[in-house]
Chain A
Amino acid sequence: MATDKSNFQLVTNGILQENPIFKLALSMCPAVGISTTVMNGLMLGTAVLFVQVFSSVTISLLKNFIHPRIRIPTYTLTIATWVTVIDLSLAAYFPAAYAQMGIFVKIIVAFAIITMRLEMFACKEPVSSSFWDGLGMGLGFMVGMVVIGLVRELLGSGAILGHDVLGFKPLLFFILPSAGFFVVGLMMGFFNWIEKYYAARKRGNR
């Protein structure tokens, strides 16, 4: 049963309608923990994108080979393999950025979002749809992380990607870890409010 969405729609779905961080509220640990700079967001976003895409494609390729009763262990094995690969690669080729992220790259293996995506989508859909869906989810995660990172880095250290933009540090609080909770909470509330507003307008226009 193939999905009836086009490939482009799959991607935008991942970024907007079913954004992992803001809508599905999954994989929030890194969103709160290390979204202190845009660079971190990009790096971790890329890692998650890589893992999501490769896992989705792998599972989709092997969906007939996997016995239904052991599908969860198989998903776990696949995800763990790709996480190990990206972890080793990042550590070797981008050591400075990797050091910033600590163990969060390894923790990708425990992200509910990836397993859920495999369970709900990749094991039923053909390879190409799985690829685009994985891409969408990964990009959605990256976008979320970058947005939060942007807010925190700008307001916390007055810089973007390490380049001083404001010339002063507005509120050190924002790059302290606990601010992650506040920023995410406020942004979620804000998105909810926007949604309600547009929904009300739509209803009002009918």
Chain B
Amino acid sequence: MNRLHYLAIVTVVLGLLGLGGVVQAADLVSKTEFAAENEIIVHFSNPVDRTQAADPGRYVVFEESDPDIRLNISTIVVSENGREALLTFDEPLNSAKTHIVKTSGIGGVAESSFSVSKSYFGYLISILISALLINNFVFTKYLGLCVFFGTSKRKQTAKGMGVVFTIVIVVSVSMSWVLFQYVLRPFNLDYLQIVIFIGLTSLTVQAVDTVLRKVNPVLFKSFGVYLVLVIANCVIIAVPLLMASNGYNYFETFMLSLGAGGGFLLALYLMSSVSERVELAKVPPSFKGLPIAFIVAGQFAMAFLGFSGLQLF
């Protein structure tokens, strides 16, 4: 995993992000996107007749969930080369919802319909960022604190715990998702959520334990002790519960668990860095140890409050 690999990954990610709304139906339109608050830009694959494209009567636009409510187009501006049309609406658009645009008689195509939505990949990244920063499980949701305070004294332990935790959470939440979608939901067994999720977590921990012991005993020696602590971590049960209550699909669940694990690692790392310094500071004797750790965590929590309402995509 050298620099070139990293670069390649970053380029692919940025490329996917720029995809915007990838068009499904016709070949008429190559790309659609939301522009300002009340604008949609349509990119045609081939230049189209400018008078046709500028006629609001040829467009029908509505939100996917409300097909009977037609949105009023106030003006249309078509670019010089006939490849772009800027539709401006009376009211601001709710860009979080998918919109459908139907055209008739533009560019030689009798009828075509295509959707406009924010990049799905952007949405996935926003789930990741949300779990990582905005709704950080330790500093914003106050979960996993026991383990957090126990392993945040040294940078080494913090890193170890964080990595092990991320791996376990991604694996166990994926399995939980499968069971939830294909067993619990169809059979109306929602109330078995708690048992199933905690059971799968224990299973994962056990499996990782056994595998690690056999495959890489050296790694096991340094990380094995954290495995037991994973079960006692509130986050590990909170993530599948969140997944269940939001009804995420697989990719969203994956992003959520990655973000949760990453957020935990971040929190641990930040905390341990401060912890190491606090040990050398003059702390009043009654506050040594946990009390001062709590106060530091409180300050971090206040800092993370600043991420509230962050919206990247």
A contact residues vs B (CB 8 Å cutoff): 25-30, 32-33, 72-73, 76-77, 80-81, 83-84, 87-88, 103, 106-107, 109-112, 115, 176-182, 184-186, 188-190, 192-193, 196
Contacts and interface: CB of A to CB of B under 8 A. Distances in A.
B183 interface: no
A85 to B, nearest CB: 9
A182 B287 contact: no
A83 B302 CA distance: 32
Contact of A84 (B191, B231, B284, B286): B191
A192 B293 CA distance: 14
The 5 A-B residue pairs with the shortest CB-CB distance, nearest first, are A185-B294, A181-B298, A178-B301, A33-B142, A189-B291
Interface stretch (B106-114, B123-131, B143-151, B247-255): B143-151
B93 interface: no
Contact of B142 (A106, A177, A182): A177
A157 to B, nearest CB: 18
B290 interface: yes
17 contacts: A29-B142, A29-B146, A29-B234, A77-B195, A84-B191, A87-B194, A103-B241, A103-B242, A106-B241, A109-B237, A110-B234, A178-B305, A179-B298, A182-B298, A185-B298, A188-B290, A192-B286
B302 A185 contact: no
Contact of B301 (A83, A103, A177, A192): A177
A192 B199 contact: no
B232 interface: yes
A174 to B, nearest CB: 11
B104 to A, nearest CB: 48
A80 B290 CA distance: 29
Contacts, number: 117
B95 interface: no
By secondary structure, the B interface counts as: helix
Contacts of A179: 298
Nearest to A116: B232
Contacts of A81: 195
B242 A84 contact: no
Nearest to A81: B195
Interface of B: 139-146, 149, 191-195, 198-199, 202, 231-234, 236-238, 241-242, 245, 284-287, 290-295, 297-298, 301-302, 305
Determine which residue in A72, A110, A184, A188 has the highest number of CB atoms from chain B within 10 A of its CB, and name it: A110
A115 B232 contact: yes
Given A109-B194, A185-B295, 6 more contacts: A25-B146, A25-B149, A26-B146, A84-B191, A106-B237, A196-B285
Nearest to A72: B202
B302 A178 contact: yes
Given A109-B237, A177-B142, A184 B294 contact: yes
A37 to B, nearest CB: 15
Given A28-B145, A103-B242, A192 B291 contact: yes
Nearest to A194: B286
B205 to A, nearest CB: 10
Contacts of B143: 29, 33, 107
A193 B287 CA distance: 8
Given A186-B295, A192-B287, A84 B237 contact: no
Contact of A193 (B141, B236, B286): B286
A24 B244 CA distance: 32
A106 B140 CA distance: 18
